[in-house]
Amino acid sequence: MASGDAPKTVLLRGQPIGLEGIAGGTITPGMFVVLDSDGKVDPAPANSSTRWVARENEIVGKSINDNYSPDDTLLYWSCRPGDQVYALLNAGENVSAGALLQVSSTAGVLGAHNPGNPGESFPGNAVARALEAVNNSGGATPVRIRVEVL
């Protein structure tokens, strides 16, 4: 695969732990996810510190563009620092390579890091670092971005 080609998988590099659960809502592979109080897996809320990332369900021939529906069996990664994934960047965002990212106001989708409180320990609520510059400032929907999990 040439370096400019769009990846066809969420996991780009690393050795995360593979997990599965039941989707609590519609989830797109590449979204950051969390466990809800009912034991289902939902898109992560804003400022979540999760390192869990939904993966494509290649077991049944699905791609990174095929959403999970509520109550589907969801496959996801428990990422470790340094793992690289093909995540989603929120509409209206413009980030440069090396920028810190956090779960944005759109559940499960990343946006530019806002450090929050002065003196907050690094990286605070940042969950990833952009591995490429992506400008989605004029976009109406999230777009893909290569990131390194922190």
pLDDT score recorded for residue 1:
47
Domain coordinates in residue numbering, the chain: 11-80, 85-149
> SS3 of 60, please?
helix
> How does DSSP assign 76-106, residue by residue?
EEE--TT-EEEEEE-TT-EE-TT-EEEE-SS
pLDDT score recorded for residue 114:
83
pLDDT at residue 124 is higher than 90: no
pLDDT score recorded for residue 46:
92
- Tell me the per-residue pLDDT of 46-95, one tens digit each, with 9 for 90 and over: 989 999 999 999 999 999 999 999 999 999 999 999 999 999 999 999 99
| Closest C-alpha to 101, from 77, 124, 81, 78 | 124
